[in-house]
């Protein structure tokens, strides 16, 4: 089943051309600016989920606050999401938090805006379509087999999150730079330090701080990747991987992308696709173990498949229930809780004025826990099936975001997760070690606190 979150979002009436709303007369959204300077930052960082739910109960789906040094308006729900997606490059611009702004390459797709962003998306799009994933299925399958056998040979309980992390990293390297001589273990260590820096609350570059170590790791990663890119630049024909497409791209004057831009993009893609896929895959394993009736239905689906040989896009498509389960896991625990934008003019939303330069928070987690979802706290994969189809309202189901910034790697992630899950279901079983803390880390990524300790065996 191909999963596709559309980029086309209808505009909202309040901001459509010719709207008669006089923005300057509208009140600010309800809420509090908190303490001088600090605002409500501490409560937000401590537990952003609780922060959102408490204020939502008090003020509804539109409220203001002051976090991370800036005024912000939180918007929750499908309608708000449609307004945010429609506003990109009109009344809104993308905005990353300060650490990410300092550590992600300035020329990567996530950092650029306007027509440069659209051009880059056009360049990347052909390499991330559902159909393109066909080449990767056998390569992903081979890597997953290899890793699952290593898990099995451990013979004693291990942290599934760490094991999934190693697997996802190696798969990402293959997609990005091919079966090259990249030392995945070395890169993975650097990557971990870099990502920790990306989420650090205090982005001051002092050695031995999380941010300082992140800066050093980013530099080392770049030094490692630079000769690899330089060598690939010399090839007359590029292999079919993302680096190949970045190096083959030409602008209107026939010029290639500068090497620094290629490096920015490679690092960004590695970052954007890693912890997200690790979180969804680990939480899928956890939820299957916690819901034996769902696990049983998934196993039955695998047994009943007509095609039992190597996996293909067609055989993956013939697993609708598994896809419903993956989708429901990402509804209950979205790997990305939300994203930020900034207003580029005074705007009206929901009868309120949002001044120019304020941050806007897109809330994926909040959206997945409100209307139109029935009993949203229940893990219920049937809600994703064609009969109930609860996700049909546009903007209600947004694990991959939406609009012009919808996730570039959504098909890659869905295919990879389906391959991992199918091979797990066919050949292995796993139990959660009792007594561990399965509650989710509140920030930055919702993974089980103890790393998901599992006992793993063959079926
Ligand atoms: C389960 C896995 C994944 C989830 C849940 C996820 C989620 C998201 C979300 C919510 C956004 C939108 C952020 C925003 O609106 O600012 C996004 C953007 C992005 N994702 Fe993913 N992602 C996943 C996997 C991947 C993979 C595997 C790749 C690449 C190989 C990738 C590459 C990107 C890129 C480059 C962007 C930025 C797009 C832009 O700014 O135009 N993601 N992702």
Average pLDDT over residues 60-71: 92
Per-residue pLDDT tens digits for 296-355: 999 999 999 977 789 999 999 999 999 999 999 999 999 999 999 999 999 999 999 999
Structure confidence at residue 2 as a pLDDT band (50, 70, 90): very low
**The pLDDT of residue 19:** 63
Tokens of 123: 């360049």
- Ligand 1 atom at minimal distance to the Cα of residue 340: 16
Give nearest CA residue, ligand 1 atom 7: 400
Structure confidence at residue 7 as a pLDDT band (50, 70, 90): very low
Structure confidence at residue 71 as a pLDDT band (50, 70, 90): very high
**The pLDDT of residue 255:** 86
Per-residue pLDDT tens digits for 152-206: 999 899 999 999 999 999 999 888 888 767 888 899 899 999 999 988 877 888 8
Average pLDDT over residues 250-273: 90
- Ligand 1 atom at minimal distance to the Cα of residue 362: 15
- Ligand 1 atom at minimal distance to the Cα of residue 268: 35
- Ligand 1 atom at minimal distance to the Cα of residue 108: 35
Question: Is the pLDDT assigned to residue 9 strictly greater than 60?
Answer: no
Mean residue pLDDT of the chain comes to 91
Question: Ligand 1 pocket, 412 CB below 6 A?
Answer: yes
Q: Which of 259, 272, 427 is nearest to 335 (CA)?
A: 272
Of 381 and 444, the structure prediction assigns the larger pLDDT to 381
Alpha-carbon Rg for the chain in angstroms: 22
Cα 422 to middle of ligand 1, angstroms: 23
Give nearest CA residue, ligand 1 atom 20: 407
Question: Is the pLDDT assigned to residue 10 strictly greater than 70?
Answer: no
Average pLDDT over residues 107-122: 93
Question: Ligand 1 pocket, 91 CB below 6 A?
Answer: no
Question: Is the pLDDT assigned to residue 18 strictly greater than 80?
Answer: no
C-alpha 356, offset from chain centre: 27
**The pLDDT of residue 16:** 55
Question: Is the pLDDT assigned to residue 4 strictly greater than 70?
Answer: no
**The pLDDT of residue 3:** 45
Residue where the block lists tokens 């049909």: 392
Of 390 and 416, the structure prediction assigns the larger pLDDT to 416
Question: Ligand 1 pocket, 105 CB below 6 A?
Answer: no
Of 20 and 286, the structure prediction assigns the larger pLDDT to 286
Reply yes or no: is the peptide bond before residue 441 cis, omega within 30 of 0: no
**For domain 13-458, which CATH number applies: 1.10.10.10, 3.40.50.150, 3.90.45.10, 1.10.630.10?**
1.10.630.10
Average pLDDT over residues 225-246: 91
Main-chain phi, psi angles of 270, to 5 degrees: -60, -45
Q: Which of 198-202, 429-433, 445-449 has the highest mean pLDDT?
A: 429-433
Cα 339 to middle of ligand 1, angstroms: 11
Question: Ligand 1 pocket, 413 CB below 6 A?
Answer: yes
Q: With pLDDT > 70 as the criterion, what percentage of the chain qualifies? A: 95
Question: Is the pLDDT assigned to residue 230 strictly greater than 60?
Answer: yes
Task: Identify the sign of the CA torsion 294, 158, 365, 422.
Answer: negative
Question: Ligand 1 pocket, 408 CB below 6 A?
Answer: yes
Question: Ligand 1 pocket, 361 CB below 6 A?
Answer: no
Main-chain phi, psi angles of 28, to 5 degrees: -70, 155
- Ligand 1 atom at minimal distance to the Cα of residue 110: 40
Pocket test of ligand 1: the residue of 107, 108, 130, 400 to mutate, having most ligand atoms within 8 Å of its CB, is 400
Query: Mapped to the 3 state alphabet, what secondary structure does the chain carry?
Result: CCCCCCCCCCCCHHHCCCCCCCHHHCCCCCECCCECCCECHHHHHHCHHHHHHHHHHHHCCEEEEEECCEEEEEECCHHHHHHHHHHECCCEEECCCHHHHHHCCCCCCCCCCHHHHHHHHHHHHHHHCCCCHHHHHHHHHHHHHHHHHHHHHCCCCEEHHHHHHHHHHHHHHHHHHCCCCCCHHHHHHHHHHHHHHHCCCCCCCCCCCHHHHHHHHHHHHHHHHHHHHHHHHCCCCCCCCHHHHHHHCECCCCCECCHHHHHHHHHHHHHHHHHHHHHHHHHHHHHHHHCHHHHHHHHHHHHHCCCCCCCCHHHHHCCHHHHHHHHHHHHHCCCCCEEEEEECCCEEECCEEECCCCEEEEEHHHHHCCCCCCCCCCCCHHHHCCCCCHHHCCCCCCCCCCHHHCCCCHHHHHHHHHHHHHHHHHHEEEEECCCCCCCECCCCCCCECCCCEEEEEEC
Average pLDDT over residues 54-72: 93
Question: Is the pLDDT assigned to residue 1 strictly greater than 60?
Answer: no
Cα 416 to middle of ligand 1, angstroms: 14
């Amino acid at each position: 089943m191909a999963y596709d979150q559309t980029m086309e979002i209808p505009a909202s009436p309040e901001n459509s051309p010719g709207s008669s709303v006089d923005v300057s007369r509208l009140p600010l959204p309800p809420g509090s600016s908190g303490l001088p300077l600090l605002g409500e930052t501490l409560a937000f960082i401590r537990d952003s989920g609780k922060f959102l739910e408490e204020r939502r109960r008090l003020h509804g789906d539109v409220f203001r606050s002051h976090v991370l040094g800036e005024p912000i308006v939180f918007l929750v729900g499908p309608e708000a999401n449609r307004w945010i997606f429609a506003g990109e490059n009109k009344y809104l611009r993308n905005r990353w938090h300060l650490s990410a702004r300092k550590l992600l390459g300035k020329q990567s797709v996530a950092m650029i805006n306007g027509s440069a962003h659209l051009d880059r998306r056009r360049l990347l799009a052909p390499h991330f379509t559902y159909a393109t994933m066909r080449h990767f299925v056998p390569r992903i399958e081979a890597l997953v087999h290899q890793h699952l056998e290593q898990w099995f040979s451990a013979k004693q309980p291990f942290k599934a999150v760490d094991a999934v992390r190693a697997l996802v990293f190696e798969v990402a390297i293959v997609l990005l730079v091919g079966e090259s001589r990249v030392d995945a273990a070395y890169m993975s260590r650097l990557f971990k330090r870099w990502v920790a820096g990306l989420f650090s609350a205090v982005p001051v570059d002092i050695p031995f701080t999380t941010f300082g170590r992140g800066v050093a790791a980013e530099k080392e990663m770049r030094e490692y990747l630079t000769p690899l890119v330089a060598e690939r630049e010399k090839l007359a024909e590029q292999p079919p991987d993302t680096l190949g497409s970045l190096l083959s791209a030409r602008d209107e004057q026939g010029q290639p992308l500068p090497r620094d831009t290629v490096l920015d993009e490679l690092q960004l893609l590695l970052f954007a696709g890693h912890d997200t896929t690790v979180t969804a895959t680990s939480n899928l394993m956890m939820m299957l173990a916690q819901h034996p009736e769902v696990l049983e239905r998934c196993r039955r689906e695998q047994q009943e498949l007509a095609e039992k040989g190597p996996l293909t896009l067609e055989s993956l498509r013939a697993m609708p229930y598994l896809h419903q389960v993956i989708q429901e896991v990402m509804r209950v625990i979205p790997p990305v809780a939300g994203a930020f934008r900034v207003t580029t003019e005074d705007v009206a939303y929901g009868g309120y004025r949002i001044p120019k330069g304020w941050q806007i928070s897109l809330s994926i987690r909040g959206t997945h826990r409100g209307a139109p979802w029935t009993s949203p706290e229940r893990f219920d994969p049937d809600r994703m099936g064609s009969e109930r189809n609860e996700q049909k309202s546009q903007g209600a189901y947004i694990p991959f975001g939406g609009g012009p910034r919808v996730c570039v790697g959504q098909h890659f992630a869905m295919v990879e997760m389906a391959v991992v899950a199918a091979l797990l279901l066919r050949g292995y079983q796993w139990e959660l070690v009792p007594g561990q803390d399965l509650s989710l880390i509140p920030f930055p990524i919702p993974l089980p606190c103890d790393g998901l300790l599992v006992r793993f065996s063959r079926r």
